[in-house]
Amino acid sequence: SAQVIDGKKISDTIREEIKSEVASLLDKGVRPGLAVVLVGEDPASQVYVRNKAKACEDLGFYSEVHRLSAETTQEELLGLIGRLNEQESIHGILVQLPLPKHIEEKPVIDAISVAKDVDGFHPINVGNLMIGDDSLLPCTPAGCIELLKRTGNSAAGKHAVVIGRSNIVGKPISLLLLREHATVTICHSRTPNLAEVARSADILVAAVGVPKLVKRDWVKPGAVVLDVGINRLPDGKLCGDVDYEDVLETAGWITPVPRGVGPMTITMLMANTLKAAKKTHGIE
Ligand code: NAD
């Protein structure tokens, strides 16, 4: 039976590490600061924003939550971002996605200062990830790599298969695995022989958004299975893109949903904000 990767526990450990770094930053007169911007009343987004503010409080960060009405114009939002870019107490800016339909995502992401782009979605940070330069990494992909490292699962020389090619998850995870010296195959909705490709993976990442897509016969015995999916079932329960019960006997390592990849995302956001604060103040 697979070893279960306890994302909650690993995330708690990293949070303790961040907390002690914050303490030593405070001694130098620096408090990491995060601004979270929420436009509109999307219920899931409200929960995410609340959790991010809570994490800031728990870790000793300064935080601001800007809750804007659903009628906010693109211009008003860009104005706020401009002010946050200039604000010294703020080292990280996160605009909660999705935005209401009348606001274009791209100009908003592009407006965030590269140094404060703690989501890692700005084209310059994406480009730096691509060429392997130091940058702020997207949180969920960075969290996946951290899970591998902290369970002693090196990616070097392994075949990693990523199902999903979104800009926020699939693509950046693939680039990070490549950086970790894996041989990477990226699959998506037009990949004809998905099960067969998945079965050749030493490390299988599912970032699809299809509940329980990955079955036992998609998994090579002993493979590391990282399930990024967060899907709500009709009964209200959460499930991943992997059929966890079905795959549990075959996989070598597996992340559950919840308590797998999920808890790592906000923790990596905190880590990015800390990193941005240190860089701004020339620390380390
Ligand atoms: P997305 O919809 O942007 O992308 C999904 C990708 O999967 C696409 O590239 C598509 O080509 C591919 N795909 C869709 N159906 C497929 C199929 N049947 N077979 C093969 N490939 C298929 O989604 P996303 O934003 O990348 O998110 C993916 C999942 O991860 C979702 O369940 C989302 O909720 C979850 N997610 C979790 C976190 C977290 O914090 N753990 C963060 C972001 C997203």
CATH assignment of the domain containing 202: 3.40.50.720
Residue 192 in any domain: the answer is yes
Query: Contact 36/65 with Cβ under 8 angstroms?
Result: yes
243 shares its domain with 183:
yes
Q: Whose CA is nearest to atom 18 of ligand 1?
A: 189
Is any atom of ligand 1 closer than 6 Å to the C-beta of 265? yes
Is residue 2, in this structure, part of any structural domain at all?
A: no
Could you tell me whether strands 159-163 and 203-206 are parallel, antiparallel, or unpaired per DSSP bridges?
parallel
> How many CB atoms neighbour CB 69 within 10 A?
10
Structural domains in the chain (count) = 2
CA of 214 to the centre of ligand 1 (A): 13
146-166 b/e with 16+ CB inside 10 Å = b?
A: bbbebeebebeebbbbbbbbe
**Range list of H helices, the chain:** 7-27, 43-59, 74-86, 105-111, 123-131, 139-150, 170-179, 194-199, 244-247, 262-280
In terms of domains, do 151 and 232 share one? yes
Phi-psi label, residue 29: left if phi above 0, alpha if psi -120 to 50, beta otherwise: left
- Percent with pLDDT over 70 in the chain: 100
Domain assignment present for 95: yes
Report CA(74)–ligand 1 centroid distance (Å). 27
- Name the phi and psi angles at 3, rounded to 5: -80, 130
Tell me what pLDDT residue 218 has. 98
- Please give the Cα distance from 281 to 284 (Å, whole number): 9
39 CB-contact burial (10 Å; exposed 0-12 / middle 13-18 / buried 19+) = buried
Residue 261 near ligand 1, beta carbon < 6 Å: yes
Cβ of 89 closer than 6 Å to ligand 1, yes or no, is no
Indicate whether 273 belongs to any domain: no
What is the distance of C-alpha 142 from the center of its chain? 6
* Residue 11 token pair: 């995330």
The answer to whether residues 72 and 158 belong to one domain is no
- 188 and 74 housed in the same domain: no
Ligand 1 pocket check: which of 8, 96, 188, 268 to mutate, most ligand atoms within 8 Å of Cβ?
188
Closest CA to 174 of 196, 143, 205: 205
Residues of the chain with pLDDT below 50 are none
Asked if residue 227 is part of any domain, the answer here is yes
Q: Considering the entire predicted model, what is its pTM?
A: 0.97
In the reported structure, the alpha carbon of residue 205 is separated from the centroid of ligand 1 by a whole-number distance in angstroms of 11
ipTM beyond 0.90? Answer: yes
Q: Is 97 in the pocket of ligand 1 (CB under 6 A)?
A: no
Query: In degrees rounded to 5, what are phi and psi of residue 104?
Result: -80, 130
Q: Is the peptide bond before 258 cis (omega within 30 degrees of 0)?
A: yes
| Tokens linked to 231 | 């899907």
52 with 87, same domain? yes
Q: For ligand 1, atom 34, name the residue with the nearest CA.
A: 230
Distance 212 CA to ligand 1 centre (A): 12
CA gyration radius, the chain: 19
pLDDT value of position 284: 81
Within this chain, do residues 104 and 181 fall inside the same structural domain, yes or no? no
Last residue within a domain, chosen from 75, 96, 113: 113
User: Which amino acid belongs to residue 90?
Assistant: I
**Domain of residue 149, residue span:** 139-263
CATH number at residue 101: 3.40.50.10860
Q: Please, what is the Cα angle at 254 between 252 and 255, to 5 degrees?
A: 165
pLDDT for position 239: 96
- DSSP conformational letter for 62: E
- The answer to whether the beta carbons of residues 94 and 119 sit under 8 Å apart is yes
Interval 34-70: pLDDT, tens: 999 999 999 999 999 999 999 999 999 999 999 999 9
Q: Catalytic residue positions?
A: 52, 96, 119
Q: In what order do the strands lie in the sheet with 92-95?
A: 62-68, 33-39, 92-95
> With a 6 A CB cut-off, is 33 part of the ligand 1 pocket?
no
89 and 203 co-located in one domain: no
Q: How many CB atoms lie within 10 A of CB 227?
A: 31
Shared domain for 153 and 234, answered yes or no, is yes
> Domain for residue 258, yes or no?
yes
